[in-house]
Amino acid sequence: MNDARKWDRIHGAQQSDPPRPSAVLAEFEHLLPPGGDALDVACGRGGNALLLAVRGLSTCAWDISTVALAALNKLAADAGVHIHTECRDVTTDPPEPAGRDVIVVSHFLDRPLIPHLIAALRPGGLIFYQTFVRDAVDAFGPSNPDYRLGANELLALFRPLRILAYRDEGATGDIRRGWRNEAMLIGRKE
């Protein structure tokens, strides 16, 4: 089965759960500009894209799963917002340079894509990034360590940006508390 069909099956099975914005966007929503062009990369059913569109940004959402995009189109219509959805393999067709004020990526890690994401930001543009880490407290998330971040890896990947926020607690301290298993970063292109 190719990747798109695999994700179609996963999204088809999850239709009853409403998609939610990722923590990096929900907790730092106040950093968003009042308008501009936003892109949700590997959007799934688009919890991030919906938040961006409701906040008044002109929002594109890309994914390889047509099932996910169909669900997002319906959710956007129900919410009374427009999202420009596109079935697009971002590994072979990354965003064009200097076209976005906001880019959000959650739970998708393709390291060669990251320089394209940085290039796709306009000056002053923001990236919100969140995904799984290797230094986790349980097995939730991808089993292949290649799809998990190493310690401080997000900081290294986004070094050209000004880092506004970063969080990765690893397995330090009382693991019953805190925000675990993932890292988040918000960067600004100066």
Ligand X SMILES: C[S@@+](CC[C@H](N)C(=O)[O-])C[C@H]1O[C@@H](n2cnc3c(N)ncnc32)[C@H](O)[C@@H]1O
Q: DSSP labels for 147-178?
A: GSBPTTHHHHHTTTSEEEEEE--TT-S-TTSS
Burial of 38 (0-12, 13-18, 19+ CB in 10 A): buried
Residue numbers 48-87 binding ligand X by CB under 6 A: 62-65, 68
Q: Which is nearer to ligand X, 18 or 97 (CB)?
A: 18
Rounded to a whole number of angstroms, the minimum distance from the CB of residue 97 to ligand X is 18
CA distance 135 to 49: 28
Rounded to a whole number of angstroms, the minimum distance from the CB of residue 114 to ligand X is 14
Rounded to a whole number of angstroms, the minimum distance from the CB of residue 42 to ligand X is 3
CA distance 78 to 65: 20
Q: Which is nearer to ligand X, 111 or 159 (CB)?
A: 111
89 binds ligand X (CB under 6 A): yes
Size of the chain, expressed as the number of residues it contains: 190
Residue bearing tokens 């890896």: 153
What Å distances lie between residue 67 and 22, 45, 122, CA to CA? 20, 8, 31
Choose one: 76-84, 103-111, 150-158, 167-175; the region binding ligand X (CB under 6 A): 103-111
Q: Which is nearer to ligand X, 87 or 172 (CB)?
A: 87
Binding residue count for ligand X, defined by CB under 6 A: 18
**Which parts of this chain interact with ligand X (CB under 6 A)?**
3, 7, 22, 42-44, 47, 62-65, 68, 89-91, 106-108
